Amino acid sequence: MKVKILKYKANKILNIHKYVDSWFWNKYSAYPYKGCQFGCEFCYNREARFRPYKDPEDFSKVITIKQNAAELLRDELSKVSIDLVAIGDYQPVERKNKISRKMLGVCLDLKFPVFILERSPLVLRDLDILEDINKRSCAIIAFSIITTPKSKNYSKLRFFEPKSPKVKKRFEAMRKISKKEILTGTVFMPILPYIFDDDENIEDVIKMTVANGGSFVVGGGLTLGRGYKKRYFDILERIDPLLVNKYKALYPTYNVYGPDPEYLGKIALKVTEICEKYQINDRIPRPIEFFPEKIKLNKKIAEIFFDKVYRMEIENKSVYRVWAYRKASWALDALEENVYDIYKESGLIGLDEIRDIGEFFSRQIEEEIKKLIRI
Ligand code: SF4
């Protein structure tokens, strides 16, 4: 199938997120292409607000290239503080255009750590730069993998990932990356209900990740946005019409995008349980080495709080408690003073005065400080 390529000069490339992403830890993101030749049917980039074209069919057939992405990135990164950048897009157009490679070169020059989430082993082409970034600051390369060839439903993968590189190739790339001592693993998202959510498939994905040197498996559910829900349901109809009603029950109208939270929690707990069995992380460990010494402890304790948010969410704990923890995590993450200095100087009262912390979280922070710096 012929792909139409459109090139243009963009005005801006760097997205600066208000809060750090507690799944992948990036504060920034920058991508050189719009549209994706891999054309996964569940891709949230199919949503109208991310699509550069009117016709949804164009998502994988018309690719827009931001020609000046690397120059813009250099300019924009030089104006912000060092933090993790989600970057890289290794769809087929990258082979010739090499814009992701140029953007990595910018991160290397400016000492920015990077996070890459890929389906393509083409990322191996840039392993030289990624190794250098990893030595200078940090690189994390995760692979999107939702099943393995051992799954009873593996043949159905072609309906959902029609043009993605083979799963085997992704695991081989993971192995090569792990040998370079770069943090790698699997982003097991989206776990497709009634297709790839069985215990055997979950266990195989985790087992294969471990076997290929991965250090984490992060599981997540399928969201069905308005922009692609109908397409997705049409595929279900083709595979097995009975699936349609099962999905309708799982994606109730009150929750437009995500599945029933109870189902989601059950699947996430299953991933956690099997990760524990194989002694692998069910979250991506937060890289903090590149932060200034002064705020490293804040970032570490924020990570612990973010982790609690995740655990509480999958256990369907009270929304109020989850939000209280989330706000405390954000506050700690944004704190510019060293939290230990505040504690040393003014004890719990000082911690209590930090925005969104209060008495309960002051005690939690005190506990973590004592554990982490053994006072
Ligand atoms: S590879 Fe990623 S960006 Fe491309 S279509 Fe699939 S999910 Fe979307």
Give residue-wise pLDDT tens across range 181-219. Answer: 999 999 999 999 999 999 999 999 999 999 999 999 999
Supply the pLDDT for residue 257. 80
Q: Using CA atoms, how far apart are residues 151 and 161, in angstroms rounded to an integer? A: 15
**Residue numbers of the domain that contains 151:** 4-277
Residue 294 has pLDDT above 60, yes or no: yes
Same domain for 242 and 336: no
Query: 47 or 285: which carries more pLDDT confidence?
Result: 285
Say whether both 316 and 360 belong to one domain.
Answer: yes
- Looking at the structure, tell me whether residues 266 and 145 fall in a common domain: yes
CATH number at residue 156: 3.80.30.30
Give the residue whose CA is nearest to atom 1 of ligand 1. Answer: 38
User: Is residue 368 within a helix (H) or strand (E), and if so which, with residue range?
Assistant: helix 358-373
pLDDT at 204: 98
Same domain, 269 and 305: no
What is each CA distance from 120 to 27, 90, 143, 259, 323, in whole angstroms? Answer: 23, 6, 8, 28, 36
And the tokens for 273? 């349980």
For the whole model, what pTM was predicted?
0.95
Query: Is 309 among the domain residues?
Result: yes
How many domains would you assign to the chain?
Answer: 2
Q: Are residues 263 and 303 in the same domain?
A: no
pLDDT of 49 above 90: no
Give the model's confidence band at 65: pLDDT under 50 very low, under 70 low, under 90 confident, else very high.
Answer: very high
- Specify the pLDDT at position 250: 93
Mean pLDDT of 251-273: 87
| Burial class of 151 by CB neighbour count within 10 A (0 to 12, 13 to 18, 19+) | buried
Of 244, 277, 310, which closes a domain?
277
Q: What is residue 287's DSSP assignment? A: P
Contact 177, 134 (CB under 8 A): no
Residues 324 and 268 in one domain: no
Token readout for 33 is 């292409």
**4-8, strands of its sheet edge to edge:** 4-8, 62-66, 33-34
CA of 45 from ligand 1 middle (Å) equals: 8
Angle 308-311-316 (CA atoms, 0-180°, nearest 5)? 120
- The answer, yes or no, to whether residue 52 has pLDDT greater than 70, is no
**Are 163 and 255 in the same domain?**
yes
Token pair recorded at residue 89: 């897009």
Residue 375 has pLDDT above 70, yes or no: no
Residue 121 pLDDT > 90: yes
218 and 96 share a domain? yes
Residue 40, pLDDT > 80, answer yes
Question: Is 363 a domain residue?
Answer: yes
Rounded to the nearest integer, the mean pLDDT of the chain is 95
**Same domain flag for 28 and 155:** yes
Instruction: Say which amino acid occupies 313.
Output: E
- Average pLDDT estimate for 7-15: 96
**Cross-strand pairs, 15:** 29
* pLDDT at residue 319 greater than cutoff 70: yes
pLDDT band at 227 (very low <50, low <70, confident <90, very high): confident
Q: Whose CA is nearest to atom 8 of ligand 1?
A: 43
Structural domain includes residue 284: no
**The predicted structure's pLDDT at residue 26:** 98
**Taking a C-beta distance cutoff of 8 angstroms, is the pair 335, 295 a contact?**
yes
CATH number of the domain residue 346 falls in:
1.10.150.110
My answer on whether 64 and 143 are in the same domain is yes
337-372 pLDDT, tens per residue?
999 999 999 999 999 999 999 999 999 999 999 999
Is the C-alpha dihedral spanning 4, 141, 217, 282 positive or negative?
negative
Considering the domain architecture, whether residues 273 and 346 belong to the same structural domain is answered as no
Locate 308 and state its tokens.
């609690």
Any domain includes 109: yes
Residue 256 resides in a domain:
yes
List, chain by chain if needed, residues with CB within 6 Å of any ligand 1 atom: 36, 38-40, 43, 45, 119
Q: Give residue 228's pLDDT.
A: 87
Predicted confidence at residue 226, as pLDDT, reads 82
pLDDT for residue 55 is more than 90: no
Q: Whose CA is nearest to atom 4 of ligand 1?
A: 36
Residue 308 lies in a domain: yes
Q: Please give the angle made by the CA atoms of 335, 337 and 342, to the nearest 5 degrees.
A: 110
- Whether residue 110 is found in the same domain as residue 62: yes
Any residues with CB less than 8 A from the CB of 158 and at least 6 apart, and which?
none
| Amino acid 77: pLDDT | 98
| Residue 287 is assigned to a structural domain of this protein | no
In a mutational test of the pocket of ligand 1, which residue from 164, 222, 223 has the highest number of ligand atoms less than 8 Å from its CB? 164
Boundary-marking domain end, from 211, 245, 277: 277
Strand pairing report for 62-66 and 4-8: parallel
- Those residues with Cβ within 8 angstroms of residue 374's Cβ, 6 or more apart along the chain or in another chain: none
Which residue of 34, 36, 37, 50 sits with most ligand 1 atoms within 8 Å of its CB, as the best mutation to test the pocket? 36
Which residue is closest in CA terms to ligand 1's atom 7?
Answer: 43
Q: Which residue's alpha carbon is nearest to atom 6 within ligand 1?
A: 40
